[in-house]
Amino acid sequence: MEFRDTLPLRRMVRNYRDEPVLHEVVERIVETVRRAPSAGYSQGQRLLVLTEPEARAETARILGSTGWTEPEDREPWLESAPVHVLVGTREDDYHDRYRKPDKLHGDEEIEWPVPYWFVDAGAALMLLLLAAIDEGLAAGVSGVPLDAAAELRATFGIPEDVSVVALVTIGHPAPDPGWSAVTSRRTQPRRSPSQVVRWERWTY
């Protein structure tokens, strides 16, 4: 699928058909992350792929218990998704990389304006979303509140040096009008090009 055809299809889908996704398809989607850019090629991105029903039930329970993704009158989101991917990042990979001789500034590690390990996690997450569409599937992103991240860490043995960034759900899309009615896409207007993009010099 051409990029220009993929992008208009990119939206968060929060309900999925009761249809499995082939293991090889999941593999292709998650392995796109190896093509993600990363600062200094630090490759700090880490994924935990959950396909077993018990594991997915745990993420749904943990995120549901925070009130975050509670269905109420909405379609079942996490509960319906046949694939959950926890996207994480390992900050130490960046320090390890930027302390190597070819990256040191004098004796010092470069100080970035923002933590690039989170930037790279975002790039990885975006690849997952687009790769899912390319496979004829749909995907959604759920934020992970701090307390839920701690519970996910304990439940799945995620090591302390990996930060949990977000949860991506993947599956065959089903209608999600209940979610669409309450989510930010509906309540917040899309910003105009001139609000988001400046040319040559920042002018208000």
User: Interface with ligand FMN by CB under 6 A: which residues?
Assistant: 11-12, 68, 141-143, 166, 183-185
Smaller CB separation from ligand FMN, 104 or 181: 181
Smaller CB separation from ligand FMN, 190 or 201: 190
In total, the chain counts a number of residues equal to 204
Smaller CB separation from ligand FMN, 32 or 183: 183
Smaller CB separation from ligand FMN, 37 or 143: 143
Q: What is the DSSP letter of 96?
A: H
- Least distance to ligand FMN, CB of residue 10, Å: 7
Burial classification of residue 184, based on how many CB atoms lie within 10 Å of its CB (0-12 exposed, 13-18 middle, 19 or more buried):
exposed
Angle, vertex CA 122, rays to CA 145 and CA 13, nearest 5: 70
- Least distance to ligand FMN, CB of residue 106, Å: 35
Q: How would you label 167-183 residue by residue, b for 16+ Cβ within 10 Å and e otherwise? A: bbbbbbbbebebbbeeb
Smaller CB separation from ligand FMN, 10 or 103: 10
- Least distance to ligand FMN, CB of residue 200, Å: 28
Contact partners, residue 85, CB within 8 Å, separation at least 6: 30, 47, 48, 49, 50, 128, 167, 168, 169, 170
- Least distance to ligand FMN, CB of residue 88, Å: 13
Q: How would you label 82-118 residue by residue, b for 16+ Cβ within 10 Å and e otherwise? A: bbbbbbbbbbebbeebbeeeeeeeeeebeeeeeebbe
Q: What is the DSSP letter of 190?
A: P
- Least distance to ligand FMN, CB of residue 167, Å: 8
- Least distance to ligand FMN, CB of residue 126, Å: 8
Smallest CA-to-CA distance from 56 within 86, 31, 33 is with: 86
β partners of residue 138: 171
